Amino acid sequence: MDGNILRERLKYSSISFDVSFQEIATTIASGETLFLINDNERRDPRILLKILSDLEIERLFIPFVALRSLIEVAITTDRIPGSLKEVITAGEQLRVDAGLRQFFTKLSHSVLENQYGPSETHVVSAYLLDQDPSTWSDLPPIGKPIKNTDIYILDESLEPVNKGETGELYLAGQNLAHGYIGRKELTDNVFIPNPLDKSDHPILYKTGDLGFYNKDGDIEFLGRADHQIKIRGYRVEPGEINIVGARYPGIVQCITHAVHDQESHPQLVIYYVPQKAGEINEEKFKAYLDEQLPDYMMPAFVMKIENIPYTPSGKVDFKSLPTPDKQVSDAEGKIDYQSDTESRLAKIWRDLLGFQSISRSSDFFNLGGDSLNAVTLFMKIEEEFDKYLPLSTLTQASTIKDLSKIIDGSNEAIDFGRFRSLQVIQLGKPDKVPLFMVHGGAGNVLMFNDLAKGLPGDQPVYAFQWPGWDGFKGEDDIIEMAKFYKKELREAFPVGPYRLGGHCVGGIIAIEIAKLLKEEGAEILDPILVSDAPNLHSQYYCADEPESANSDKVAFKKMSDKLDLEIAEAPNGTDIQKGRKPQNKDVKKDDHSMRRYPLLAKYMPFYFKLGGMVLKLEDKLQLLKISLYEKLSIKIPAEDRHRYSAISQLAAIKKHEKTIYEGDILYLKSNVVYGRSMGLQGWWDDIFFGFREMCTGQFDAHIIGGQHNDVLKRSSAHQIIRKKMFGDD
């Protein structure tokens, strides 16, 4: 092979992003080396910069937003990754500023390639910047179509425009997608028949992007045709915000527009026209918008105007809209910093966000801060306070007041007293992704203290306690519990990623929480930790108790033989992956517990029968008493809450419909083999309670031993969790 071929590449893109297959395929095709990084390394440009240097990476695919953050760190620290020979960027319009020119001037042997292409086609054009960076255009073109692709620039009548004239970009070629699965109407709207009768390309993709051919034949990109704005990587349609804002009582009309801060980052401003002689409480209006809109669509500023300005042609005159007043004070109208740290931190915020003054309680993101600003913020904090903080800290402490506490050494930035369920088990350090555990049948979270002690001291651990433990009504439905816990989780930690787990019924609740979070686009770190949770929908579940079978001894013998065999074939601490079959052929039938423990075999059926009668009677009496408390609106006494929780969790798991988790599960198992220990009837013809059927990913199962509530207390469990979930050896 050519000795000049690049050898070291970094896989920056997430596997769900279409660029990832370009990274993988081109590496394989050229026989090069592709280095993988994790999400934390990808998100933090400080770590990424170190990796580029340490691994001597020569080729890098990276979105422009991430590239800009990387460059800012490199220039500030004067650490240039000298091995880089080729940088390829896409995803956002490339903007060349002084920092980018300075970076590539120092990388005199490196080139920058600007690529363009939506997910529906992948890359369709490229433009190489290989000249002196001082000559680069502020907004470089996206180049010419690559091989096997065509780009058409058409007017509203779908006719080609002349060179230099603006039109919409339509794409065609071998890499064109066939459409959107299950969305025929959308497919028909944007994947249209080629109006130019090109037999090679019968279908065109309507991008919604504007551009024109310059004199050199390259395409100049002009942005979205529908005036969408890109905020923090999300495409925002201002009209959607306007509709929500106009619904607020007392407001006639709203217009949303993007202004740019000192770093040229877009910030949303919503301008509202009130009813005549009407006054709007802007704090309440902001609260309303916050409830109605996703975080990335939340305007940074709210401004009152008398009328919306229009141009002579009848379009909104955005240039005539006033500039936001960049002064944010407390509700009382004053700035009152409580420490030297707060004052110094406030100055950093003012300089970074372009405000004249900022209150100690103002939220960083509500002021227009985003991930780009956050990178600079934490670099400035490190310079000013000589303290390294990970970017994830801002998700827990996004005000000057709370962030100052962490800088000063206090991590208790979140007031957990306001939560009914979410509890602190171990604070740890804010640079670690917390582990959130869900209670078992008992409802309380005391058992997780032992788990936390078995994990590194800097690992944050939180847990959800069943709400009924406060003496008031608690849910007896798994989905409702999951929704409630998810709500509190998002209040305390609005931004992921999230790491989840649960004991017994809590394992199922944790799965439902994960599914809810994924629906909202949040990142879940697999595997989910589950200990001793049953699957009542399993094909291996036998709902009949042995005493109801034709022969008690025959039924119990069948159960004990099957379970004893599986335990013998899976030594303590041994993992059993999904789909693996027991390999130990030497376990003899004579070794089974029926022969080893004749008294156990003789009396176990009677235990089942008597125990079942007692438990049913106790449950009925307890339910009657609790029902009376609820009807009289009396707080349930502390001594009754344990049973109240157990009965509620039992009802929840019995009526819960079958659920499947599309991800990985780490399953830890006790020596319990029948449902009675969990208040359930029946048993399972599977040592893992049939739980592997609820997982489509890797089912990593381990037998820890002990009783039902002992699993997470054992050091063997802690070792497995540290290794499998946190990467500790």
Q: Is the pLDDT of residue 206 over 50?
A: yes
CATH for 229-320? 3.30.300.30
Distances in Å between the Cα of 465 and the Cα atoms of 357, 514, 557, 643 are 41, 17, 39, 14
Q: How would you classify residue 219: left for phi > 0, otherwise alpha for psi between -120 and 50, otherwise beta?
A: beta
Residue 377 pLDDT exceeds 50: yes
Answer left, alpha or beta for residue 179, where phi above 0 means left and psi between -120 and 50 means alpha. left
pLDDT band per the 50, 70, 90 thresholds, residue 567: very low
Per-residue pLDDT at 154? 94
- Type of residue numbered 597: Y
- For 38-98, the DSSP string reads -HHHHH-HHHHHHHHHHTT--EEE--HHHHHHHHHHHHHHT---TT--EEEE-SS-----H
pLDDT tens-digit readout, 671-703? 777 777 777 777 787 888 889 999 999 999 998
pLDDT at 69: 79
Name the E strands within 347-506.
Answer: 422-426, 435-438, 461-464, 499-503
Q: Which pair of tokens denotes residue 397?
A: 């402490």
- φ/ψ (deg, to 5) at 592: -70, 155
Between 14 and 729, residue with greater pLDDT:
14
Q: How confident is the model at residue 105 (pLDDT cuts 50, 70, 90)?
A: very high
Provide the Cα torsion 468, 472, 476, 478; round to 10°.
-50
* Least confidently predicted of 11-25, 339-353, 431-445: 11-25
Residue 439 pLDDT > 50: yes
250: left (phi over 0), alpha (psi -120 to 50) or beta: left
d(CA 578, CA 701): 8
CA distance linking residue 646 with residue 652, whole number of Å = 10
List helix spans (H) across 281-412: 282-292, 340-353, 371-385, 393-396, 400-407
In CATH terms, 1-140 corresponds, of 3.10.20.30, 3.40.50.980, 3.40.50.620, 3.40.50.300, to: 3.40.50.980
Residues 394 and 570: their CA atoms lie apart, in Å, by 44
Cβ atoms of 448 and 712 within 8 Å: the answer is yes
Residues of the chain with CATH 3.30.300.30: 229-320
Confidence of residue 386 (pLDDT cuts 50, 70, 90): confident
Whole-Å CA distances, 690 to 109, 508, 540, 577, 684? 59, 13, 6, 13, 7
Return the higher-pLDDT residue of 409 and 693.
693
Residue 71: CB partners within 8 Å, gap ≥ 6? 99, 100, 103
Residue identified by tokens 């029926």 is 594
Q: Boundaries of CATH 3.40.50.980 in the chain?
A: 1-140
Residue ranges of the chain assigned to CATH 1.10.1200.10: 340-407
Start-to-end C-alpha separation, the chain: 39
**C-alpha 18: how far from its chain's center?**
19
pLDDT at 331 over 80: no
Residue 8 in contact with residue 56, Cβ under 8 Å?
yes
Which one, of 129, 127, 95, lies nearest residue 372 by Cα? 95
Q: Strands, DSSP E only, in 92-140?
A: 111-116, 125-129
- Sorted by sequence, the CB contacts under 8 Å of residue 623 that are 6+ apart come out as 647
- Name residue 226's amino acid: D
CATH classification code of 340-407:
1.10.1200.10
Angle between helices 598-631 and 638-655 (to 10 degrees): 110
CA distances from 405 to 41, 118, 311 (A): 26, 43, 50
The dihedral formed by the CA atoms of 314, 318, 319 and 325, expressed in degrees to the nearest 10: 140
Q: Hey, how many other C-beta atoms are within 10 angstroms of the C-beta on 87?
A: 22
Domain 415-729 listed as CATH 3.40.50.1820: yes
- Given a contact cutoff of 8 angstroms between Cβ atoms, the answer to whether 704 and 670 are in contact is yes
- H helices present in 137-281, as ranges: 184-190, 238-246
Residue 178 has pLDDT above 50, yes or no: yes
For residues 712 and 71, what is the distance between their CA atoms, to the nearest angstrom? 45
Backbone angles phi, psi at 341, to 5 degrees: -60, -45
| 136, pLDDT greater than 50 | yes
Residue 568 CB neighbour total at 10 angstroms: 15
Report pLDDT digits (tens) over 287-314: 888 778 876 788 888 899 888 786 654 4
Q: What is the pLDDT of residue 599?
A: 46
Kindly report the backbone phi and psi dihedral angles of residue 452, in degrees, each rounded to the nearest multiple of 5, phi listed first.
Answer: -60, -40
> Is residue 416 scored above 80 in pLDDT?
no
pTM, entire model: 0.45
Query: What integer best gives the mean pLDDT of the chain?
Result: 79
pLDDT 10s digits, 39-73 = 878 878 899 999 999 999 999 999 887 888 788 88
Per-residue tokens: 184: 């025929």
The answer to whether the beta carbons of residues 474 and 467 sit under 8 Å apart is yes
Q: What is the mean pLDDT of residues 399-406?
A: 88
Write out the residue limits of the CATH 3.40.50.1820 domain(s) in the chain.
415-729
Looking at the predicted structure, is the pLDDT value of residue 414 above 80? no
Residue 548: is its pLDDT beyond 70? no
Spell out the alpha helix ranges (H) of 208-362: 238-246, 282-292, 340-353
Q: Which residues pair with 684 in a beta bridge?
A: 541
435-438 and 461-464 beta bridge pairing: parallel
Rg, Å, the chain Cα set: 31
